[in-house]
């Protein structure tokens, strides 16, 4: 997408950050490939934005991500236990359209989201997401904690993206051979409510989207915080594999390793 590539040219600091983090995370590649992936990433983000804006027509002509009958059955089976489902993903592929795909499949989809810098944009994003059936729980709202509990009481899906360094409760787990501060909510909620975990993302290819839906099983050892940390690490490792598969479809411009562990030993920043 030319607009995305143009943004990559204009956003000098973001492009440099993306190239630097690619070099640190994928050191086996030559520098020219780091620059190429960064350029492709900006093109991907530009195209993703257009896809979201035109989601109605995209889905109408069968161009959006779609869950197969087998994938819908897998999620339905997880929901059948009546304890809700924690849907874990990252900013991989077109994560916005993936949420729509679950809702369009008739699945009770809820998602945690961070408010945008402009309240008017937040309202617009909320409207766009709800029109496909996804209920948004906005981080920072006074009622968000109770809203999350209600999701599990209703036996519905709660989607969380756990691949960014944000101001939420987290822990340090390996990510591309460096410790990265990672949200623990997905792991903590799954263990607390004994809710099944589904891992999911949607990579874009020339002939359409490849939707990944995986039931993730974890054996808790009743170690409290250690279980939460271990589960978070295992989920993060799965997301890393997905990113390595198509590195241009992840947000390398995000400051993923900005928070340092207490020891300061998190590798190059």
pLDDT digit string, tens, across residues 131-157:
677 888 877 777 788 989 999 999 999
Sign of CA dihedral 217, 66, 152, 89: positive
pLDDT digit string, tens, across residues 85-105:
999 999 999 998 999 999 999
Question: CA 241, CA 257: separation in Å to the nearest integer?
Answer: 18
Q: 98 exposed, middle or buried (CB, 10 Å; 0-12, 13-18, 19+)?
A: buried
Question: Averaging pLDDT over each range in 103-112, 117-126, 134-143, which range is the top one?
Answer: 103-112
Q: 207 exposed, middle or buried (CB, 10 Å; 0-12, 13-18, 19+)?
A: exposed
Residue ranges covered by each domain of the chain: 64-246
CA 26 remoteness from chain centre? 20
pTM summary value: 0.90
Residue pair 244/163 in contact (Cβ under 8 Å)? The answer is no
Sign of CA dihedral 108, 79, 157, 95: negative
């Amino acid at each position: 997408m030319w607009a995305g590539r143009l943004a990559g040219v204009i956003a000098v600091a973001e492009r440099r950050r993306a190239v630097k983090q690619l070099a640190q995370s994928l050191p086996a590649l030559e520098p020219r490939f780091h620059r190429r992936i960064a350029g492709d990433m900006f093109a991907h983000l530009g195209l993703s934005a257009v896809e979201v804006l035109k989601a109605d027509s995209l889905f109408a002509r069968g161009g959006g991500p779609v869950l197969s009958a087998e994938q819908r059955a897998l999620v339905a089976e997880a929901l059948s236990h009546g304890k809700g489902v924690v849907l874990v993903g990252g900013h991989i592929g077109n994560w916005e359209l993936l949420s729509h795909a679950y809702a369009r499949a008739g699945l009770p989809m809820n998602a945690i989201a961070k408010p945008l810098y402009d309240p008017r944009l937040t309202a617009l994003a909320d409207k766009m997401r709800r029109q496909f059936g996804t209920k948004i729980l906005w981080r920072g709202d006074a009622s968000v904690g109770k809203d999350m509990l209600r999701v599990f009481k209703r036996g519905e899906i709660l989607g969380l993206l756990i691949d960014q360094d944000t101001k939420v409760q987290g822990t340090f787990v390996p990510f591309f051979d460096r410790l990265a501060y990672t949200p623990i909510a997905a792991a903590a909620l799954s263990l607390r409510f004994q809710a099944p975990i589904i891992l999911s993302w949607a990579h874009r290819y020339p002939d359409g989207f490849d939707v990944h839906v995986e039931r993730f099983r974890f054996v808790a050892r009743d170690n409290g915080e250690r279980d939460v940390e271990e589960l978070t690490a295992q989920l993060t490792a799965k997301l890393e594999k997905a990113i390595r598969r198509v590195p241009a479809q992840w947000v390398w411009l995000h400051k993923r390793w900005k928070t340092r562990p207490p020891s300061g030993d998190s590798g190059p920043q």
